Amino acid sequence: MTAKNAFVVAGLSAGAGTKVTGFIPVAGTTVQMPTTVVNGVEPGPTVLVTGGVHGGEYPGIQAAITLAGELDPARVRGQVIVVHVVSPLAFHARQQYVVPQDGKNLNRQFPGSKLGTVTERIAHTIMTEVASKATAWVDLHGGDIHEALVPFTIVSQGAAPAVRDAAWRMAEVYGIPYVVASDSVAGGTYGAAATAGIPCILTEAGQCGQLDDANTQIHLRGLRNVLKLLGVLPGQPEPVAPVQKLEHFPWVRAGQAGCWYPAVKVGEQVAAGAPVGEIRDYFGKVLEAYTAPAAGVVMFVVTSLAINGDDPLVAVGAE
Ligand SMILES: [Zn+2]
């Protein structure tokens, strides 16, 4: 029996004015996603927060854990669903980008598939059982294990105008100055959310597989501000710096495997055609040299010496 006005997400039932924790199973797999459901007393929006879509992006995961712990249902209007670690398989394998069981990047698989591989099923469960309840979504990332980056927020441009505008308002209060308007990768959370009509931002703060408090706090301030903007938490969003909109987000990818030597740092301004790094063989011979595809800010740089064909190397954010 469920309590009066219970809010139920994939079997986790929170009565009005309560908070529950538990695990959301992914059907046909061993995956159990640690989740907190907060149900306020007053009606309001339903905000989804996801951490750990990528297993090594720790500040986002920690911000999800901290937010879930601090939310007081007595002060919440509407509901908040926090999935602390969407991909526990990648998290425990300490694996960047992909889920080791099927080699797939979860943030390229949305909206997923009910009868697909484990990664496709995780995406399907998030979309059909969790995001389907949400009226807004913040997907927390933070530079994977071999990825240096400057914080940035991604907003999908593919959404209907009202959905896109709502997502931009969320991005503006999140407090990360660089906002990338992008649909450059298919199968991401924000693109699937846009298609489903859910305003969504993907926020990146953190890097290189490190858990650090400064980046966790960037996420936490952003989450609290979004919840205030939407009226889920009382009070006004804390003032933040104005955002700089970057319309283009070209990535440079490895043409072959080898040793990677970047020539730029994150946050650096580069001219179009400027050298950004080279791949050499194991004997030091240059195999390929890479240049900036546009003038702009270096948003991320892959930091591992080892590189594989088609791996991302560098991305530039351009106006
Ligand atoms: Zn990520």
Domain boundaries, the chain: 7-245, 248-317
Cα of 3 to ligand 1 centre, how many Å?
Answer: 37
Lowest mean pLDDT among 8-22, 185-199, 213-227: 185-199
Cα of 265 to ligand 1 centre, how many Å?
Answer: 19
Question: What is the per-residue pLDDT for 17?
Answer: 96
Sequence-separated (6 or more) residues with CB below 8 Å from residue 181:
155, 157, 245, 246, 247
Cα of 42 to ligand 1 centre, how many Å?
Answer: 34
Question: What is the per-residue pLDDT for 64?
Answer: 98
Q: What value does the mean pLDDT take over residues 116-126? A: 98
- pLDDT surpassing 80 at residue 289: yes
pLDDT in tens, 129-164: 999 999 999 999 998 999 999 999 999 888 899 999
Query: Which amino acid belongs to residue 319?
Result: E
- pLDDT surpassing 60 at residue 2: no
Question: What is the per-residue pLDDT for 288?
Answer: 98
Question: What is the per-residue pLDDT for 282?
Answer: 98
Work out the pLDDT band at 1, boundaries 50, 70, 90: very low
Cα of 201 to ligand 1 centre, how many Å?
Answer: 12
Cα of 110 to ligand 1 centre, how many Å?
Answer: 13
Mean pLDDT of the chain: 96
- pLDDT surpassing 50 at residue 16: yes
Cα of 54 to ligand 1 centre, how many Å?
Answer: 5
Rounded to whole angstroms, how far apart are CA atoms 7 and 10?
A: 10
Cα of 15 to ligand 1 centre, how many Å?
Answer: 33
Cα of 98 to ligand 1 centre, how many Å?
Answer: 10
- pLDDT surpassing 70 at residue 4: no
pLDDT in tens, 63-77: 999 999 999 999 999
Helix, strand, or coil (residue 57): coil
Cα of 91 to ligand 1 centre, how many Å?
Answer: 12
Cα of 242 to ligand 1 centre, how many Å?
Answer: 24
Q: Are 260 and 290 in contact (CB under 8 A)?
A: no
Rounded to whole angstroms, how far apart are CA atoms 155 and 266?
A: 20
Evaluate whether the domain defined by 248-317 bears CATH number 2.40.50.140: no
Q: What value does the mean pLDDT take over residues 55-59? A: 96
Cα of 141 to ligand 1 centre, how many Å?
Answer: 4
Evaluate whether the domain defined by 7-245 bears CATH number 3.40.630.10: yes
Cα of 97 to ligand 1 centre, how many Å?
Answer: 7
Work out the pLDDT band at 184, boundaries 50, 70, 90: low
Cα of 273 to ligand 1 centre, how many Å?
Answer: 27
**Ion ligand 1 — residues with CB under 5 Å?**
54, 57, 141
Cα of 12 to ligand 1 centre, how many Å?
Answer: 26
Cα of 14 to ligand 1 centre, how many Å?
Answer: 29
Q: Are 106 and 123 in contact (CB under 8 A)?
A: yes
The C-alpha angle with vertex 269 and arms to 265 and 271, in degrees rounded to 5, equals 115
Lowest mean pLDDT among 5-14, 89-98, 109-118, 178-187: 178-187
Cα of 143 to ligand 1 centre, how many Å?
Answer: 6
